Amino acid sequence: MLKIGEFSRLSQISIKALHIYDERGLLKPEHVDRFTSYRYYSLQQLPRAHRIMALKEMGLSLDQIGAVLNEELTLPELRGMLRLKRAEIEQHIYQEQQRLIRVEFHLNMIEYEGKMPELNVVMKEIEPIRVLYYRMRPRELEIASFGRPGDVTAAGDEVIGAVRARNIQWAGPQIDIRYGGEINAEEYEYAFCVPVTPDFQGGDIELPTVGILKHHELPAVYAATVMHQGRGMDVTRVVRRGLEDMTLLRRWCVEHGYALTDELRIVFHKFFNEGDWLVEHQQVVHRPVEHAT
């Protein structure tokens, strides 16, 4: 018979773990002295201890290990349990690979810029959003290029004015959406979105000059997101920074294996007239098929 310390050294299982395995019925001592409560094990128990360690290193829980040891699972159940564990491990490997790619991306940016990059990307699940929605093609409004003051700004002012005139409750920050036109600025479309509460009962709103403001639901999307903030009302600087972020964000998505869509959402958490601004860019992407939920 082996004392618990001796069995611990032979099996490479800590004494604390042996106590737990005893309590859980996985590996009970061969004998317990009824006067001293000392636990004693036998050499014949080493194979079972070895099997417990092997199953534990596969990442199985103690309950799962117990089911395997006690042969409580049918072959299909055992196969299903191991396939589920394999999927969990593959997902963990994928997440660690993504972290590695992000570290490498920052290292490359440091080499390029000579400092820690300001582009901090976070992947987000964006839930469906109820909005009042106006979409237009700026070319039709004679816009020369994205970000240049003109009819886009005027259209946005008309949308916001119509919402405020009707005392409609905003349910979140204004969202602008840019669709396509990465190369040719004349081909893109632009949308203004005012979030409304889920119980909003109003219908479409006819705007004075630019068209119809529609009651619409933005679908749930998966997006790579960045935040940038600043002070003052220098719109030109904000636009320039936004264009730089868009370029770096798309590059980041491609390097991380995400397929780009033609949709970029711009969320205005704080507006310029509040003394400072906080803008979030959300590049909508396709989730890799093997990791889709």
Q: Indicate if the pLDDT at residue 234 is higher than 70.
A: no
Q: Indicate if the pLDDT at residue 161 is higher than 60.
A: yes
More confident residue, 171 or 72: 171
Give pLDDT, residue 147.
44
* Nearest alpha carbon to residue 263 among 227, 229, 219, 212: 219
- Verify that 132 and 269 share a domain, yes or no: yes
- Verify that 169 and 234 share a domain, yes or no: yes
Q: What is the mean pLDDT of residues 175-190?
A: 74
pLDDT band at 261 (very low <50, low <70, confident <90, very high): very high
Give pLDDT, residue 120.
78
Give pLDDT, residue 252.
82
Q: What is the share, in percent, of the chain residues with pLDDT greater than 70? A: 81
Q: What is the share, in percent, of the chain residues with pLDDT greater than 90? A: 39
Question: By mean pLDDT, which of 121-135, 145-159, 250-264 is the weakest?
Answer: 145-159
Q: Counting Cβ atoms within 10 Å, is residue 169 exposed (0-12), middle (13-18) or buried (19+)? A: exposed
- Verify that 44 and 78 share a domain, yes or no: no
Distance from C-alpha of 133 to C-alpha of 141, rounded to nearest angstrom: 17
Residue ranges making up the domain that contains 231: 122-291
Distance from C-alpha of 153 to C-alpha of 165, rounded to nearest angstrom: 18
Give pLDDT, residue 156.
84
Give pLDDT, residue 146.
41
More confident residue, 114 or 44: 44
Give me the number of domains the chain comprises: 3
At 260, the amino acid letter reads: L
Give pLDDT, residue 241.
64
- Verify that 277 and 227 share a domain, yes or no: yes
More confident residue, 114 or 136: 136
CATH number at residue 20: 1.10.1660.10
Helix (H) or strand (E) segment spanning residue 195: strand 189-195
- Verify that 9 and 61 share a domain, yes or no: yes
Helices 235-255 and 75-113 cross at an angle (nearest 10°) of 130
- 198 in helix, strand or coil? coil
pLDDT band at 25 (very low <50, low <70, confident <90, very high): very high
Give pLDDT, residue 85.
92
Q: What pTM value is reported for the model?
A: 0.61
- 134 in helix, strand or coil? strand
- Verify that 153 and 204 share a domain, yes or no: yes
- Verify that 134 and 238 share a domain, yes or no: yes
Question: By mean pLDDT, which of 38-47, 90-99, 163-172, 229-238 is the weakest?
Answer: 229-238
Question: What pLDDT, in 10s, does the model give residues 82-135?
Answer: 999 999 999 888 888 877 877 877 677 677 666 655 567 888 999 999 999 998
